[in-house]
Amino acid sequence: MQVDRIIEELDRSMRELREAMRGIPIRRGSFKKTHDNLARDVATVTTMLDAARPVLQKK
């Protein structure tokens, strides 16, 4: 179940990033835009991994 573990790790990492952002002024240095782009890209990857799960788990 490597796909499940990867998806869980991505989810945990994004939650940690959200917690870390609480002390950062988000508008400084276009950090908010960078974060939003990252979150969107991670969501895309997670969705693609989930959709590819049957192919990746073939034995």
| Residues 23-59: b if buried by 16+ CB within 10 A, e if exposed | eeeeeeeeeeeebeeeeeeeeeeeeebeeeeeeeeee
- The per-residue pLDDT for 13 is 93
Of 4, 1, 2, 7, the C-alpha closest to 43 is 7
- The per-residue pLDDT for 44 is 95
pLDDT tens per residue across all 59 residues of the chain = 788 898 899 999 999 988 887 777 766 667 778 888 999 999 999 999 999 888 877 65
- The per-residue pLDDT for 37 is 92
- The per-residue pLDDT for 28 is 65
- The per-residue pLDDT for 56 is 79
pTM for this prediction: 0.73
